[in-house]
A = this chain, B = another copy of it.
Amino acid sequence: MPKDTFFNLKEEKQQRILKAALHEISVHGYNKASVTRIVKDAGIATGSFYQYFEDLADVFVHIGHRAVKLKGQYMQQELEKTRSSKQIDMESFIRAMYRGGLRFGLEHEEYFRAAQSFLQLKDTELYNRMFAGVEFNEIYIWINQFVGEAVQRGELQQGITVALFLQLITGINTTIIEYLIAAKPGGEMSKEDLETLCDLGLHILLHGIRNSDN
Taking beta carbons and an 8 Å cutoff, which residues of A are in contact with B? 29, 31-32, 90-91, 94, 116-117, 120, 122, 154-160, 163-165, 167-172, 174-175, 178-179, 182, 193, 196-197, 199-200, 203-212, 214
Known: A116-B120, A179-B167. A193 touches B159 (CB 8 A): yes
A155 touches B210 (CB 8 A): yes
Q: How far is the CA of A32 from the CA of B117 in the complex (A)?
A: 13
Distance in angstroms from A3 CB to nearest chain B CB is 14
A172 CA / B197 CA spacing, docked (Å):
17
Cross-chain contact of A206 among B164, B169, B208 (Cβ < 8 A): B208
Q: How far is the CA of A208 from the CA of B31 in the complex (A)?
A: 35
In whole angstroms, what is the CA distance A160 to B205 when docked? 14
A158 partner residues in chain B, CB cutoff 8 A: 196, 200, 211
Check A209–B179 contact: CB distance below 8 A: no
Residues from chain B with a CB closer than 8 A to the CB of A170 are 175
Check if B122 sits within 8 Å of A120, measured CB to CB.
no
Using A120-B116, A178-B122 as known contacts, say yes or no to A168 and B32 having CB atoms under 8 A apart.
Answer: no
Across the two chains, which residue of chain B brings its CB closest to A205? B209
**What chain B residues lie within 8 Å of A32 (beta carbons)?**
31
CA distance A31 to B170 in the complex (A): 24
B91–A210 CB distance below 8 A: yes
CA–CA, A179 and B197, complex, Å: 26
Among residues of B, the one whose C-beta sits closest to the C-beta of A194 is: B159
Contact B209 A94 (CB under 8 A): yes
Min CB distance, A47 to chain B, in Å?
A: 12
Q: How far is the CA of A39 from the CA of B166 in the complex (A)?
A: 40
Q: Contacts A91-B210, A167-B179, A208-B208 known; list 9 others, CB within 8 Å.
A: A29-B31, A116-B120, A120-B120, A157-B204, A165-B209, A167-B175, A167-B178, A170-B175, A204-B204
